[in-house]
Amino acid sequence: MPLDALISSMSLRHRITEAQTAIRIAHTEPKLGQIALVSSFGAEAAVLLHLVAQTEPDMPVLFLETGKHFAETLTYQRQLARDLGLRDLRLIRPDPEALSMQDPYGALHSFDAKACCALRKVAPLQSALQGFDGWITGRKRYQGGSRKTLAVFEGDEATGKLKINPLAYWSFEEMRAYVQSHALPPHPLLEQGYLSIGCAPCTQRAQSKDDPRSGRWSGQDQSECGIHISRSNDNNKGNAL
């Protein structure tokens, strides 16, 4: 095996072990309490979901069903859950009364995207996490911004809970190699140029391959949904799922 290929293989094996260890600790360490995985079932979600399915298949998996997803995302969510054998998938929806009051016509995203995210993502997740002591995310350092300093284990200021990032140190190349080696199905919108996939009204094709999130909230004064933003951050520049 060529040296470069050997190094890449060893690196990926190390990352897999690191991620599996973090997932196993999260699920079995009594001091940590109850932990859930929060997944967007987006462009890179299959890697972490596969790792969890292989390591701790009984771990609760929370999916924020905002009511604004692409049809392709919903189909992909059902496919992955079935193929990976996820045993405890929970669909988290916005509160119907809150929707009726704050977004009766379903158009809030068109004039206040931040409020829409707060209504359809942040509030439902905070409610769902009340039964847990911490949660797992799929964020990586290579995604840039404040993610550049991600640790595998961190505290979440907004919820006061433990946050675990098993893929924090993975590279883009390692993610791609894992997908290929396990023949994981890609999100159907990837081949159309959607490199970061959120709700349909606020997601476009990536404007740059070097910035996968360049298609999210394009032309708006927003770069994140608010889930990973601390209360002290008023500019909405935290991390997104």
- Residues annotated catalytic, as ranges: 225
Cβ pair 196, 43 in contact under 8 A: yes
For 145, the token pair is 């911004």
SS3 for 187-233, per residue? CCCHHHCCCCCCEHHHECCCCECCEHHHHECCCCCCCCCCCECCCCC
Least Cα distance to 237 among 219, 216, 222 occurs for 222
